[in-house]
């Protein structure tokens, strides 16, 4: 459904000569140019034809095709509609128009038009094939299949129909059927890069990685510019643990398709696994710049790469510098590093040395403030970044008495000049601008002299106001009766957890939920014939959605409706604001206790509940409530704390209780400051946890009002009592491979007793949490 050929260099020609040709000759010449790929000449001919007052359905439709190829979609639509109106029986204009609407994701309109086209000529295979694509997009899988099969009935060698039937079956987790259709397509055309690429993707899902690599490489050999060919191969190597090769291939994909969102997300994932960007410094900076400018990846994983931009010697000098900051050469190296300054507003810097550096710079800027200061744009932008960083970590850095006194003085200074922006930027490094609104300035009407301050106002003022407005409209069900639930709610109302800017989000690449589960529990797999969910809307529950990261990640599931619940109105309002930013429409937010789940009067095909049960007074009751609303053979993903992994955390919590350190901002700041200064040596390893570096995360880590930890034997018994089948852990390949050195049998991956023995010897294996999938048993 595109032009007749590739665009070639413009041939010499004269529009005046074209206008002198007869109608028949002009039509023939224009179409001949189109077939040969001389699109510019073809377009000139079509325009001359129409200007001469001639009217022909093929000319109008072909002209629309060229406009479509040039990205002039609105013009193409007008031409197709003009053709359909003037020549109502012209089948190809309707086919092309329906396919264009399909590509623009306007599926309802596309469906109406393709039905009209098929009525005109029911024997045309192409119409049924396009209809199959449109119906698949509308999640009408059964009807889609019938249309594609009809196309093959009309033309046994219709290549596209076999490819699309393969995709349809792959999306329904019917990989054997998908394989058969791809192989049939290759019988028709064994030199098709598309067929080899899709077959390779199918073998990847079937865990036949050797064949997956073979066919993906064949696709690259046939057409090394095919979109996703290097990316697909990169994902396979990522799965088998060859991260260097995966990164190299992903970079090749980006050289060909620089806007590939999935490539950037894979790079982010590879960086999280510790893969360094091992190219030239210039290339690394360019890649980092691109990653930092994206809103569809998580930036948290980039800290190691950001940290490598500045030498340890520079940081150590800046951590103790006491005066003349703006004149210091090391400081000027820091502020001129654009990637570093950008990163300050996107991710929390989780390092004791960086905390000392940023805390000392902040102190130096405040104590040496003068209303007469003339600061450069580089310094101002750095302060904006520092204010963003301090807001993201919720002002967790220690504040000395000297700083507190100077801050009070600064607030009293009246500024009627450009330094007002400078003053506000400094204050933002100590408290949110929202907290000073109407105290020293009316931010609702304030217009900054420096436009860079607007980003800070958005972050620290407008977004908080938006959350307050959102909070009023959040649906609420039931009342919290459990005393522990009330305490947990109060904690998260004060400190929504965690605060974040952006997260990995694939707008287009939606996946069947069984594909997601299989990829996470690999090499274990769930057979598709064990569930009957592939052709209906999937109901998903995020039980304890917090500030929304889980929701964004769950948006990868195709054909689903998501219900997100949480105890905390503050957290759920934050989550709703972020979900709105990403434009997600299939989310239903409810403020409620997990113990009230049955009042929803709804069952779910899939439930994710991570970091919730271990904060309940009776986790078994919470699990029972989840079980009650889970469909027969439904899937449940749980996240629970490990006793072995959190031994040092439990030690810290005991010490905090003994010292009676309060879980307020001053208590948390003082505790952290003492630990970082070496005054609490018995738990100094706590600073190695990334959760140590923000107020809400540190409170969750060390000061939580209620926490349970488990062994895998306890989890085994819990699942058995709850009639849940353990399916497998979500964990890194390194840990799984290490486990399988002594447990080679694939079935051993589901043996929690063997995993318990392994964890005792390797207590950091589940450092963050046990993350695992289970299924409601029918036994």
Q: Are residues 758 and 686 in the same domain?
A: no
pTM of the model: 0.85
Q: Rounded to 5 degrees, what angle do the CA atoms 388, 494, 500 make?
A: 35
Q: Which of 470, 493, 524 is the last residue of a domain?
A: 470
Domains held by the chain: number:
3
303 within a domain of the structure (yes/no): no
Q: Which of 702, 728, 748 is the last residue of a domain?
A: 702
425 within a domain of the structure (yes/no): yes
H-state helical runs in 377-524: 377-392, 401-412, 419-427, 453-457, 463-471, 483-494, 513-521
Q: Are residues 546 and 490 in the same domain?
A: yes
State how far the Cα of 267 lies from the Cα of 329, in Å rounded to an integer: 33
Q: What does the H/E/C string look like for 378-393?
A: HHHHHHHHHHHHHHHC
Indicate if the alpha-carbon torsion angle 693, 697, 699, 703 is positive or negative: negative
State how far the Cα of 150 lies from the Cα of 129, in Å rounded to an integer: 8
How high is the pLDDT of residue 595?
95
Q: Are residues 656 and 728 in the same domain?
A: no
Whole-angstrom CA distances from 389 to 45, 343, 350, 509 are 59, 9, 11, 32
Q: Are residues 562 and 661 in the same domain?
A: no
391 within a domain of the structure (yes/no): yes
State how far the Cα of 331 lies from the Cα of 327, in Å rounded to an integer: 8
How high is the pLDDT of residue 25?
87
State how far the Cα of 298 lies from the Cα of 278, in Å rounded to an integer: 20
Q: Are residues 682 and 716 in the same domain?
A: no
Q: Are residues 537 and 549 in the same domain?
A: yes
State how far the Cα of 621 lies from the Cα of 721, in Å rounded to an integer: 12
Taken as a whole, the chain contains a residue count of 779
By the 8 A CB rule, do 291 and 264 touch? yes
Q: Are residues 317 and 392 in the same domain?
A: yes
231 within a domain of the structure (yes/no): no
Going from the first residue of the chain to its last (779 residues), give the mean pLDDT of each consecutive group of 10, the final group possibly shorter: 37 60 87 90 89 90 92 94 93 94 93 95 95 91 94 96 94 89 97 97 92 98 96 94 91 91 89 67 79 92 89 96 93 95 97 98 95 89 98 97 96 74 96 90 90 95 96 94 94 92 85 88 74 68 97 91 97 97 94 95 96 96 96 96 94 94 95 95 92 96 94 96 95 90 91 97 94 88
By the 8 A CB rule, do 207 and 525 touch? yes
The SS3 call for residue 635 is strand
Beta pairing, strands 587-591 & 724-729: unpaired
What are the backbone angles phi and psi of residue 637, rounded to the nearest 5°? -100, 125
Token pair in block for residue 745: 């049998």
Q: Are residues 401 and 542 in the same domain?
A: no
Q: Are residues 503 and 552 in the same domain?
A: yes
- For every residue of 544-557, DSSP letters joined together read S-TTSHHHHHHTTB
CATH code at position 741: 3.40.50.150
Token pair in block for residue 246: 């995966």
What are the backbone angles phi and psi of residue 587, rounded to the nearest 5°? -115, 130
What are the backbone angles phi and psi of residue 26, rounded to the nearest 5°? -65, -40
How high is the pLDDT of residue 280?
67
The two counts, helices (H) then strands (E), for the chain are: 38, 8
Beta pairing, strands 724-729 & 630-640: unpaired
Indicate if the alpha-carbon torsion angle 325, 326, 327, 332 is positive or negative: positive
516 within a domain of the structure (yes/no): yes
H-state helical runs in 563-664: 569-581, 619-628, 647-659
How high is the pLDDT of residue 13?
47
How high is the pLDDT of residue 622?
96
Whole-angstrom CA distances from 202 to 136, 407, 521, 728 are 18, 61, 17, 22
215 within a domain of the structure (yes/no): no
Contacts 24+ apart (CB under 8 A), 692-695: 692/350, 693/348, 693/349, 693/350, 693/351, 693/355, 693/393, 693/396, 694/348, 694/392, 694/393, 694/394, 694/396, 694/498, 694/499, 695/393, 695/394, 695/395, 695/396, 695/495, 695/665, 695/668
What's the domain range around 411? Answer: 311-470
How high is the pLDDT of residue 10?
41
136 within a domain of the structure (yes/no): no
State how far the Cα of 289 lies from the Cα of 255, in Å rounded to an integer: 15
Q: Are residues 458 and 494 in the same domain?
A: no
Whole-angstrom CA distances from 9 to 39, 431, 610, 650 are 9, 60, 57, 71
What are the backbone angles phi and psi of residue 346, rounded to the nearest 5°? -120, -30
Q: Are residues 522 and 635 in the same domain?
A: yes
By the 8 A CB rule, do 505 and 571 touch? no
Q: Are residues 463 and 325 in the same domain?
A: yes
400 within a domain of the structure (yes/no): yes
Token pair in block for residue 457: 């106002």
Q: Which of 702, 724, 745 is the last residue of a domain?
A: 702
End-to-end CA separation in angstroms for the chain: 51
The SS3 call for residue 201 is helix
């Amino acid at each position: 459904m595109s032009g007749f050929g590739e665009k070639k260099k413009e041939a010499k020609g004269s529009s005046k000569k074209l206008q002198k040709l007869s109608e028949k000759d002009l039509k023939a010449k224009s179409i001949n140019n189109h077939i040969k790929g001389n699109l510019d000449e073809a377009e000139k001919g079509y325009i001359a034809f129409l200007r001469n007052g001639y009217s022909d359905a093929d000319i109008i439709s072909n002209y629309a095709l060229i406009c479509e190829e040039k990205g002039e979609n609105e013009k193409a639509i007008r031409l197709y509609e003009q053709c359909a109106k003037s020549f109502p029986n012209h089948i190809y204009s309707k086919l092309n128009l329906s396919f264009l609407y399909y590509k623009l994701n306007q599926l309802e309109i596309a469906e109406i038009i393709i039905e009209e086209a098929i009525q005109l000529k029911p024997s045309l295979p192409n119409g049924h094939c396009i209809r199959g694509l449109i119906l698949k997009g509308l999640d009408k899988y059964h009807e889609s299949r019938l249309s594609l099969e009809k196309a093959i009935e009309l033309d046994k060698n219709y290549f596209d129909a076999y490819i699309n039937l393969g995709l349809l079956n792959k999306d329904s987790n019917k990989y054997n059927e998908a394989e058969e259709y791809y192989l049939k397509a290759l019988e028709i055309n064994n030199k098709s890069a598309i067929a080899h690429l899709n077959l390779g993707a199918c073998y990847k899902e079937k865990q036949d990685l050797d064949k997956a690599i073979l066919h993906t490489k064949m696709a690259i050999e046939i057409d090394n510019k095919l979109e996703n060919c290097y990316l697909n191969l990169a994902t396979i190597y990522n799965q088998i643990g060859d991260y260097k090769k995966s990164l190299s291939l992903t970079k090749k994909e980006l050289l060909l398709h620089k806007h590939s969102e999935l490539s950037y997300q894979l790079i982010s994932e590879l960086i999280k696994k510790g893969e360094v960007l091992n190219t030239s410094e210039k290339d690394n900076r360019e890649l980092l710049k691109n990653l930092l400018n994206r809103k569809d990846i998580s930036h948290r994983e980039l800290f190691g790469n950001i940290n490598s931009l500045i030498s340890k010697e520079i940081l150590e000098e800046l951590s103790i510098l006491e005066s003349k900051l703006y004149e210091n050469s090391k400081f000027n190296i820091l502020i001129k590093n654009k990637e570093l300054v950008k990163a300050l507003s996107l991710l929390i810097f989780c390092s004791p040395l960086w905390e000392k550096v940023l805390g000392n710079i902040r102190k130096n800027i405040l104590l040496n403030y003068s209303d007469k200061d003339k600061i450069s744009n580089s310094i101002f932008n750095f302060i904006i970044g520092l204010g963003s960083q301090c807001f993201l970590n919720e002002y967790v850095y220690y504040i000395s008495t000297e700083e507190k006194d100077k801050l009070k003085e600064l607030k009293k200074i009246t500024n009627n000049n450009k330094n007002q922006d400078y003053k506000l930027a400094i204050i933002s490094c100590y408290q949110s601008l929202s907290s000073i609104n109407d105290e020293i300035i009316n931010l609702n009407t304030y217009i900054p002299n420096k436009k860079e301050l607007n980003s800070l106002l958005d972050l620290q003022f407008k977004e908080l106001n938006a959350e307050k407005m959102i909070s009023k409209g959040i649906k609420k069900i039931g009342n919290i009766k459990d005393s522990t639930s009330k305490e947990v709610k109060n904690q998260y109302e004060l400190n929504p957890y965690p605060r974040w800017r952006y997260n990995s989000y694939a707008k287009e690449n939606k996946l069947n939920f069984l594909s997601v589960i299989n990829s996470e529990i690999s090499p274990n797999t769930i057979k598709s014939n064990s569930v009957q969910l592939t052709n209906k809307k999937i109901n998903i529950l995020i039980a304890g959605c917090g500030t929304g990261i889980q929701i964004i990640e769950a948006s990868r599931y195709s054909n689903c409706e998501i219900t997100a619940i949480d105890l905390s109105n503050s957290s759920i309002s934050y989550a709703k604001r972020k979900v709105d930013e990403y434009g997600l429409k299939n989310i239903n937010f409810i403020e409620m206790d997990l113990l009230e789940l049955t009042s929803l009067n709804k069952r779910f095909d899939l439930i994710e509940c991570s970091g919730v049960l271990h904060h309940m007074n009776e986790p078994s009751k919470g699990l029972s409530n989840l079980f009650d609303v889970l469909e027969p053979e439904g899937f449940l993903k749980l996240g629970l704390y490990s006793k072995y992994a959190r031994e040092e955390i439990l030690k810290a919590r005991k010490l905090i209780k003994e010292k009676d350190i309060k879980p307020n901002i001053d208590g948390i700041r003082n505790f952290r400051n003492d630990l970082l200064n070496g005054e609490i040596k018995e738990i100094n390893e706590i600073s190695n946890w990334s959760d140590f570096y923000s107020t809400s995360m540190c409170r969750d880590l060390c000061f939580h009002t209620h926490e349970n930890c488990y062994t895998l034997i306890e989890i085994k018994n819990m699942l058995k009592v709850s009639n849940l089948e353990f399916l497998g852990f979500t964990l890194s390949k390194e840990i799984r491979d290490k486990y399988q050195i002594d447990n080679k049998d694939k079935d051993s991956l589901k043996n929690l007793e063997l995993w318990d023995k392994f964890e005792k010897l390797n207590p950091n294996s589940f450092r963050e949490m046990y993350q695992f999938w289970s299924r409601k048993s029918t036994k």
